[in-house]
């Protein structure tokens, strides 16, 4: 059952991949820590705590359970510093909760941090595209064509359906829309990368498990999209500097 998480446990991967994971993670950490300012540390600590706590929020799926990831939210707020929060959070999860493994910390860090590093550019791109062409976002079919992903399309269609039923089909906050898209895509990318690593680097044939892991996280992707969307919408109103795309 631990294989159903996106934190790979000890004894699952071949040792060359474990070494490579630590090497790549070290490079990402060095890049993320460059020229870090003192005023950034409290923000990194707060997002690290949120990332760690997310692993305690489990959603039951059949005989096992999965949990929120929140690496998308971490990436939107922290940008290149996200890798620092992810690395510390993963270590605490392994040390305090036995979630994941020690030998796989490097690989798990890469799996979680890579999509997180893409989160802010993705969020800013979707936010800018929505503001520049709000009419297109008001049409679910055009939004689906823009996204070009069936899972994202289903989530957006449901979001627009709810808006239509409540009588506000065109009143969706751009920050919520961008956060929803970013949170959803980040989870899909994380679960997909995890599945690929299981298949190509496993000491056994984990193909079926990899497919189940990916499928189990598709509903989580929609839930996390809603969580990230609500959070970015709130931050855009109350603390816009945290999710501002200007100069970042």
pLDDT score recorded for residue 200: 95
pLDDT tens, residue by residue, 93-132: 889 888 888 999 999 999 999 999 999 999 998 888 766 5
CA dist 116 and 108 (Å) reads: 12
pLDDT tens, residue by residue, 151-199: 555 555 565 555 544 444 445 688 998 999 999 999 999 999 999 999 9
Give the pTM.
0.82
Give the H/E segment covering residue 1. Answer: none
Decide if pLDDT at 150 tops 80.
Answer: no
Stronger pLDDT, 75 or 144, i.e. the higher one: 75
DSSP string over 107-159? HHHHHHHHHHHHHHHHHHHHHHHHHHTHHHHTSHHHHHHHH--HHHHHHHHHH
b/e string for 7-25 if b means 16 or more Cβ within 10 A?
Answer: bbbeebbeeebbebbbebb
Stronger pLDDT, 40 or 219, i.e. the higher one: 40
User: Which sequence spans correspond to the domains of the chain?
Assistant: 2-242
- Which whole number is the average pLDDT over 218-229? 89
pLDDT score recorded for residue 98: 83
Domain 2-242, second-level architecture: Orthogonal Bundle (1.10)
Decide if pLDDT at 19 tops 70.
Answer: yes
CA dist 121 and 239 (Å) reads: 19
pLDDT score recorded for residue 23: 97
pLDDT tens, residue by residue, 43-102: 999 999 999 988 777 666 555 557 889 999 999 999 999 999 999 999 998 898 888 889
């Amino acid at each position: 059952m631990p294989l159903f998480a996106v934190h790979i446990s000890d004894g699952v991967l071949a040792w060359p991949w474990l070494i490579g994971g630590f090497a790549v993670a070290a490079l990402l950490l060095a890049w993320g820590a460059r020229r870090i300012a003192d005023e950034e540390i409290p923000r990194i600590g707060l997002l690290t705590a949120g990332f760690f706590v997310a692993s305690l929020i489990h959603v039951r799926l059949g005989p096992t359970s999965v949990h929120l990831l929140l690496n998308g939210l971490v990436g939107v707020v922290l940008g290149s510093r996200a890798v620092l929060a992810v690395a510390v959070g993963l270590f605490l999860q392994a040390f305090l909760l036995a979630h994941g493994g020690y030998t796989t910390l490097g690989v798990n860090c890469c799996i979680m941090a890579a999509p997180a590093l893409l989160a802010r550019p993705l969020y800013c791109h979707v936010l800018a595209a929505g503001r520049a062409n709000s009419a297109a976002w008001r049409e679910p079919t055009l939004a689906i064509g823009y996204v070009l992903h069936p899972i994202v399309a289903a989530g957006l269609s449901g979001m627009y359906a709810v808006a239509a039923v409540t009588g506000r089909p065109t009143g969706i906050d751009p920050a919520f829309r961008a956060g929803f898209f970013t949170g959803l895509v980040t989870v899909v990318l994380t679960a997909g990368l995890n599945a690929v690593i299981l298949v190509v680097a496993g000491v056994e044939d984990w193909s079926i498990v990899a497919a189940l892991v990916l499928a189990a996280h598709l509903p989580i992707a929609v839930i996390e999209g809603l969580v990230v969307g609500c959070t970015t919408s709130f931050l855009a109103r109350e603390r816009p500097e945290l999710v501002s795309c200007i100069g970042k």
